[in-house]
Chain A
Amino acid sequence: MKKLLTLAAALLMTASLAHAQLGTSTGTTTVSVTVGAEAALTAITGTTALTSTGTNFTNYTGSTTLTYYVRTTQSGGSGSITLKVTSDFSPANGPSVTTPPSTGDKLAYTCTISGAGTGCTSSVTSSTSSSTNVITFGAGAHTVTFPGGDTATTAWTLTNDPKYYTGSYSATVTYTISAS
């Protein structure tokens, strides 16, 4: 009897010890992400109207504003914003980037930026055959203003050539941003 009681007591003690835990357990996951160079443009002035003041063939002027976001690689990275006249002025007999009626006629721009990068430092003549620089980004460039984005303005000047026929003309300028 004593042996039976002793054995029972031992069993009871063992069982209670096995379940005396609160039931706490842990598991882990490693959260990882790769952040790469990246760039984006947004909010580009849809229609940039060039206007001239006065009556003495003052050049036409106007501005295009764009918002940009950029992140270049910390070491060795770079980037840029360029533009290209992807569709010359039409209809014919007006201004033209490719074949202006007079030598020296041009559609040119200067750059003003508020944010990351270095803007073009002097007037740049636009082209339909190649892209021209607006902003240059170096290594470790980051958008200064977020979420609003950094801004850049290209101030246009179009030669007011008397040879232009009167009428309305339009061209398309395409801006491209890149980052590495």
Chain B
Amino acid sequence: MRKILALTAALLLSASWSFAQTYAGTGTSSITVSIGAEASIYVSTSTTTLSEGATPFANFAGTTNFSYKIRTTKSGGSGYITVLFGGPLSDSAADTIALTNLSYVCTDVAPASGSNCASAVTASSSTGTKVADFGTDAHSLDAGTTGNSLAWTLVNLPTYETGTSYSATATFTISAS
């Protein structure tokens, strides 16, 4: 019985020490978050239609519009946007138009830089080609930076087979570090 009482007393004493904290009018908690580099892109032109110029065999042209959100690292950060085709332009009869005939020029809104595509860049299905570059500590508008575009040009060669519609998927990729 004495052992049981002693044990009980010891337990009660331990419990009271466990809750011997300070009660006060205020208390604090430290809330922390780690902000990292981040990027996202929205291609608003889901189908970019290339239309022929006014004169016979004038080049085809069209525009793809996009906006982006980006945050690059404050020191040593960077980012980019590239575009990569899944394959040549093709129609339902398996006729193809080589991507070497398709090029683009970019219009980028700061903080994006379009220096790598200010002159015509040939489209590719083997490697992504530059659409925009970002430097250190780059920040877009909170709602996204709009007004960016690619102006496409497709040479109008007589050797193309006539077709109802040739198409290819171009995938834009944005990255930030």
Which residues on A are within 8 Å of B, measured CB to CB? 1, 4, 8, 11-12, 15-16, 19-40, 69-74, 77, 140, 142-143, 146
Contact = CB atoms under 8 A, between A and B. Distances in A.
A25 B174 contact: yes
Nearest to A16: B34
Given A33-B60, A33-B166, A69-B57, A24 B47 contact: no
Contacts, number: 152
Interface of B: 21, 29-43, 45-50, 55-57, 60, 62, 64, 66, 70-71, 79, 85, 89, 93, 95, 97, 102, 152, 154, 156-177
A143 B79 CA distance: 45
B53 to A, nearest CB: 11
Query: Considering the complex of A and B, which 10 residue pairs feature the smallest CB-CB distances, nearest first?
Result: A40-B56, A27-B43, A143-B158, A23-B38, A23-B39, A23-B176, A33-B50, A25-B40, A32-B167, A19-B36
B18 to A, nearest CB: 9
A30 B168 contact: yes
A23 B36 contact: yes
Name A's interface SS.
mixed
Instruction: Report which residue of A31, A37, A146 has the largest number of chain B beta carbons within 10 angstroms of its beta carbon.
Output: A31
B154 A23 contact: no
Contacts of A12: 32
Contacts of A142: 158-160
A23 B69 CA distance: 10
A142 B157 CA distance: 9
B36 A35 contact: no
A29 B45 contact: yes
Given A19-B34, A29-B47, A69-B158, A40 B57 contact: yes
B38 A30 contact: no
Nearest to A24: B175
